Amino acid sequence: MTKKIVIDTDPGTDDALALIMALNSPELDIQGMTSVAGNARLADTTRNTLRLMEHLGHPNMPVAQGASRPLRGKFNYGYHYHGPRGLPVRLATTKSKPRPLKAPEYLHSIGYSFPDEFVLIALGPLTNVARAIQREPRLVSWIKEIVVMGGAVEVGGNVTPHAEFNIYNDPHAANVVFDSGIPVTLVGLDVCEQVAFGRDDTDWGDGQTNGGRLAADVLSTWFTETKPDMDQYALCDPLAVAAAIEPGLLETRTATVSVEEDDSETYGQTRATYGEGNVRVAVGVDVDRSRAFVLDRIKSGD
């Protein structure tokens, strides 16, 4: 049985790889995408989402535009990591435009249409998801599961020593989502930093499909121009998509999770209290099988 999904995304290089995978995965019945700022400004992430859909043969994929700012504060963009305008490669223009519905209302519409079937994959700051929950509490019963790429529970962060980028960029939204009671699978740095493509690996660069060639172009440009000092590319958003399709790739522990919003030193830190709760924290990953899964889905399709 296919999963009725929406992907909330801030493309972003690893988002782009994750979207290629998702579009190549028959297990996912993708209803649409919602864009959020994070890796780049909202105009960039929305344009990147629309152009990726066009490039990958889905020009009519619904794209609903979301938040340009977090619930509180401001976004710390990731241009230094993802490249100018959020991607290191230029994608062809598209005539496609975002749908009239804004992201929260679009998420309501999918939840209303597919109550208790709807699976949300969140690859950026959780601002859109939090706003959707705040504006329509019935969403809590309509959403079957949220697979979140975010957090760093037992490992250090990638923005500060304590905080991971997506959570750091809107910790209040993350607390709204974790506190909602919606079942969450939290795919954090604890697992995704173990699953990577290396600069000198030869398998990610020989894609023969449209998506495979785009992934090779993004990665080779990233390694040579964007981050010439890095030897590994962590597959964080791709692992979240893989986990939505094949949960057995991860070892998880049930927990309640909260995010630090006040202390300046640990701001954005995700804390897990194991035992009971609505969050399944990914504490382990089958690294080889996950990397192979990501590579296969990137290179499959047409």
Among 124, 150, 151, 268, the residue binding Ca ion under the rule CB under 5 A is 124
| Selected range binding ligand RIB among 10-18, 29-37, 133-141, 255-263, rule: CB under 6 A | 10-18
Among 5, 12, 62, 212, the residue binding ligand RIB under the rule CB under 6 A is 12
121 binds, among ligand RIB, Ca ion, none (CB under 5 to 8 A by kind): none
Task: Provide, rounded to whole angstroms, the least separation between the CB of residue 165 and ligand RIB.
Answer: 4
Is residue 271 within 8 A of residue 179, CB to CB? The reply is: no
- Strand, helix or coil at 133? helix
DSSP state of 85: G
Position 149 contacts ligand RIB (CB under 6 A) = yes
Among 35, 158, 185, 252, the residue binding ligand RIB under the rule CB under 6 A is 158
Residue 294: what residue type? V
Tell me the C-alpha to C-alpha distance, in Å, between residue 271 and each of 86, 162, 206, 279: 29, 10, 40, 11
* Number of alpha carbons in the 13 Å side-chain half-sphere of residue 20: 30
CA distance 239 to 77: 22
Position 86 contacts ligand RIB (CB under 6 A) = no
**Binding marks (x or -) toward Ca ion, 229..248, rule CB under 5 A?**
--------x-----------
Tell me the C-alpha to C-alpha distance, in Å, between residue 196 and each of 2, 199, 232, 287, 293: 27, 10, 6, 9, 12
**Binding marks (x or -) toward ligand RIB, 204..243, rule CB under 6 A?**
--------------------------------xx------
Residues that bind ligand RIB (CB under 6 A): 10, 12, 14-15, 38-39, 78, 123-124, 149, 158, 164-166, 236-237
